[in-house]
Homo-oligomer: A and B are copies of this chain.
Amino acid sequence: MTASNRQYLLAQRPTGALQENDFTWTESAVPEIGPDEVLVRSIYLSLDPANRGWVNDVATYRPPVGLGEPMAGFVIGRVVASNRDGLTVGDIVEGDGGWQDYAVHGAEAELHRLPSADDLVARMSVRGVTGLTAYWGLLDIGAPKAGETVLVSAAAGAVGSIVGQIAKIKGCHVVGVAGTDEKCRWIVDELGFDGAINYKTENVLKVLRQQCPDGIDIYFDNTGGDILQAALFRMNQGGRIVCCGVVSQYDTAKPLPGPHGMPGLLVVRRLRMEGFIVMDYDDRREQADGDLAAWVADGRLKYKIDMIEGLENAPRALIGLLRGENTGKRMIRVSEET
């Protein structure tokens, strides 16, 4: 056990692209817990594009991270001290532990206890927030029918790679947009997508006509920006745009305005654009986890982990994630599982 609690605190709010010096590294004593509190040691820290939005001075679906506070982040860890009913030392829990070795959680904090035999890496990826995001966004918001065409952006990312495979399981024609030829090959050759578009080297609007000859019924949008713009013009009547994230716009001081044709195109083509947050589906997690686990078990759903070793690499790993460095789910191993 480390003798100290290592942390990254938010030092300043980024004015444009996120920088490493927006965070400060500190080491201090492992905190003591008070009544009803629990102390959790971080094992895995999730890195997600949405983290970038949390450091702006604007509430999103959660309050902004305060200056001088530990950077927030989703963590799977082990209870090392507990004054909270229902949690004992050794339990594995998931919750907002932040960028630190040890987190104190009060009685109100949302902590979810995991079965001790769980595969923790799967639980942070394909069966965790990213898998559930893909599952609910595609199936509940997108409502795919067999034979429909599904387009997904950031398709080699943690969410997009799962979206496309679930869409294939549901009998759809699936095309992914990604930023390197290697990613494009991976989603087609390994994951079974029907097609891929490299948005950095191809004209997305043009290539969509070839890759989606029957138009797009569902666009699962992880990026916003130019790809959303191109997709909008290829949507079929009655199409659904699942608004999951806006990774093209998080890491800039000057986000683009909304796409042209909005809201007029929504009217003439009867499109639905709808945003969601995975936490809204917490009470239906069993259902999703049953499906996801079964698909993984029978080999229809594959996932890739982009494991970064060591908490000290968190800032540059998040910066890289925002630039699209990763294939699959990027996370940080903060400490060993056992």
Contact = CB atoms under 8 A, between A and B. Distances in A.
A285 interface: no
A204 to B, nearest CB: 17
A280 B272 CA distance: 14
Nearest to A141: B272
A221 B263 contact: yes
A224 interface: yes
Nearest to A245: B267
Contacts of A277: 267-268, 270
B249 A264 contact: yes
A244 interface: yes
Nearest to A60: B268
A243 interface: yes
Nearest to A224: B263
Given A267-B243, A275-B269, A259 B257 contact: yes
Which of A224, A245, A263, A266 has the most chain B CB atoms closer than 10 A to its own CB? Answer: A263
Nearest to A246: B264
B272 A273 contact: yes
B280 A275 contact: no
Contact of A246 (B263, B273, B274, B275): B263
Nearest to A240: B274
A90 interface: no
A92 interface: no
A270 B276 contact: yes
Nearest to A249: B264
A147 interface: no
Interface in A265-300: 265-277, 280
A262 B264 contact: no
A31 interface: no
Given A257-B259, A262-B258, A272 B270 contact: no
A8 B269 CA distance: 28
A228 interface: yes
Contact of A270 (B53, B224, B268, B280): B280
A119 to B, nearest CB: 29
Going nearest first, the 9 A-B pairs with the smallest beta carbon separation are A258-B258, A258-B262, A266-B275, A267-B275, A272-B274, A257-B257, A243-B263, A60-B268, A243-B266
21 contacts: A53-B264, A61-B268, A224-B262, A228-B263, A243-B266, A245-B267, A246-B263, A246-B264, A257-B257, A257-B262, A258-B262, A259-B262, A263-B275, A266-B273, A267-B277, A269-B275, A272-B273, A272-B274, A273-B273, A273-B274, A274-B274
